[in-house]
Chain A
């Protein structure tokens, strides 16, 4: 199972928006609506930000939104804040009770 492809980095100024893509195949993102996104600050455990492509857990700011089209999922962070600077990983169900993570994207707030 190959990792999902994410851009290594993304950046934006405070208040701006940044969108991170996550590209898979028909066998994972394309077939299942089970993409989730995780935020990871340095030295910390990942935190769930989006599940089932576009659902936001309680407590996650509505500045975070997700979408999916074809084999690509996206995470958008609107109104960037300093605390949004972190690594972000996508994750997808890949069938037969297996899963795959993305390669990770480092978001920098300029």
Chain B
């Protein structure tokens, strides 16, 4: 059974850096074809794709946020980390990690999400 779970701070101050961790089980990111992605959703708004990391450590980012995002993986811990710098109130959202299929075309299993509020 594949599961993913996000963790991180519930509250960050403006200008701070956010670090989120996705801990997963049921698959290995060292296996060819495995990919993990991050998505966020501001309250009452639509989903937004953020970043993706692949089994070979290839990394891809949203064009609009690429200067603020860093994605990495720790295969031994079955974890993927997303770092977002210079947080602003508009970054308040629920952040989800999800596994992508081998073709990198859709998310087949999602975590439950973690809510992050940016406020002083």
Residues of chain A having any CB pair with chain B under 8 Å: 1, 3, 34, 36, 38, 44-48, 51-52, 57, 89, 91, 93, 97-104
Q: What residues of chain A lie closer than 8 Å to B96, measured between beta carbons?
A: 45-46
- B62 in contact (CB, < 8 A): yes
Contact assessment for A98 and B60 in the assembled complex, using a CB-CB cutoff below 8 Å:
yes
Q: How long is the Cα–Cα vector from A98 to B60 in the complex, in angstroms?
A: 7
Q: What residues of chain B lie closer than 8 Å to A34, measured between beta carbons?
A: 103, 105-106
Kindly report which residue of chain A lies nearest to residue B97, judged by CB atoms.
Answer: A45
Q: How long is the Cα–Cα vector from A36 to B113 in the complex, in angstroms?
A: 20
B103, B106, B113, most chain A CB atoms within 10 A? B106
Q: How long is the Cα–Cα vector from A93 to B103 in the complex, in angstroms?
A: 11
Q: What residues of chain A lie closer than 8 Å to B111, measured between beta carbons?
A: 45
Contact assessment for B47 and A101 in the assembled complex, using a CB-CB cutoff below 8 Å:
yes
Q: How long is the Cα–Cα vector from A52 to B64 in the complex, in angstroms?
A: 25
Q: What residues of chain B lie closer than 8 Å to A46, measured between beta carbons?
A: 47, 96, 107, 110
Q: Which of B70-103 contact A (CB under 8 A)?
A: 96, 101, 103
Q: How long is the Cα–Cα vector from A57 to B105 in the complex, in angstroms?
A: 13
Contact assessment for B63 and A89 in the assembled complex, using a CB-CB cutoff below 8 Å:
no
Q: Considering the complex of A and B, which 9 residue pairs feature the smallest CB-CB distances, nearest first?
A: A36-B106, A97-B60, A34-B105, A45-B110, A51-B106, A99-B49, A101-B47, A104-B46, A103-B46
- B104 in contact (CB, < 8 A): yes
Q: What residues of chain B lie closer than 8 Å to A93, measured between beta carbons?
A: 104-105
> Quick one: which of A36, A102, A104 contacts B105, CB cutoff 8 A?
A36
Kindly report which residue of chain B lies nearest to residue A33, judged by CB atoms.
Answer: B105
| Given A1-B64, A45-B112, A47-B110: A104 touches B101 (CB 8 Å cut-off) | no
Q: What residues of chain B lie closer than 8 Å to A91, measured between beta carbons?
A: 47, 49, 106-107
